[in-house]
Amino acid sequence: MQLFIADLHLQEDRPEMTQGFLRFLATEARRADALYILGDFFNVWVGDDGMEPYHHQLAAAMQALSDHGTKIYLMHGNRDFTIGSRFCALAGCQLLGDLERIDTDSPDPILLQHGDLLCTDDIGYQRLRRFFRQPVINFILRNLPLSWRQRIGRTTRQASKSKTRTKPVRIIDVNQQAVEQVMLEHQVRRMIHGHTHRPQVHHFLLTATEPAQAAERWVLGDWNDQQGWLIRKQGSHLSLESFQFQDL
């Protein structure tokens, strides 16, 4: 069994959220062969050298899960794209690329991604994303003084929240043409992503193929202080589920 989660936005001043995730690691996740975290695991990440006791606590819990036998895979989101090898080593997890095709125990491979690359109508965001993901810019960011990066992180998040509130839903949601294009490029008919915070299963046709092929897009929900979302995969069957932390 594989579990997929995204958009936890973990931060120290959300203790209920943190405790819920720790209970998830100690219960539900231990029954899985693999756990995939598809981005925005942390609300903000300024670099592995900025880890505090809070982050070490989470890393230790993830390492315990890995030692138990559950493989952990972590993908960058738009809020934590500077997570690096140091954190992954402490947490016992493997870092994935922005687009990751997995061949599981079922006939159809699945394409995993955070989801922000699909929001192509948000031109301003995509421009900013390309800028920050440039190797030179990323190198400069990683080597700025920690206090500067912390200030930049706070400012960027506040600005992002303000802009998101004023943008139409169609702008900040995925573009269907982008969805179909990336699925065709990676030769998949199933995709899992997060980012949009709109949990749902979308069924559609890939009309560029001959004949047209049925396809699925599975969208994860974001976690809050009482509830989490996951996609469970058992054999070829996928299920989108929400759960209460108190029930774990």
**Confidence (pLDDT) at 170:** 64
Q: Who has greater pLDDT, 164 or 73?
A: 73
Q: Who has greater pLDDT, 75 or 133?
A: 75
214 pLDDT band, cuts 50/70/90, is very high
Cα angle at 234 between 228 and 240, to 5 degrees?
A: 30
129 pLDDT band, cuts 50/70/90, is confident
pLDDT score of 77 more than 70? yes
Strands 110-113 and 34-38: what pairing?
unpaired
- 202/218 Cα distance (integer angstroms): 6
Q: Which amino acid is at 57?
A: Q
- 42/9 Cα distance (integer angstroms): 4
Q: Which amino acid is at 168?
A: P
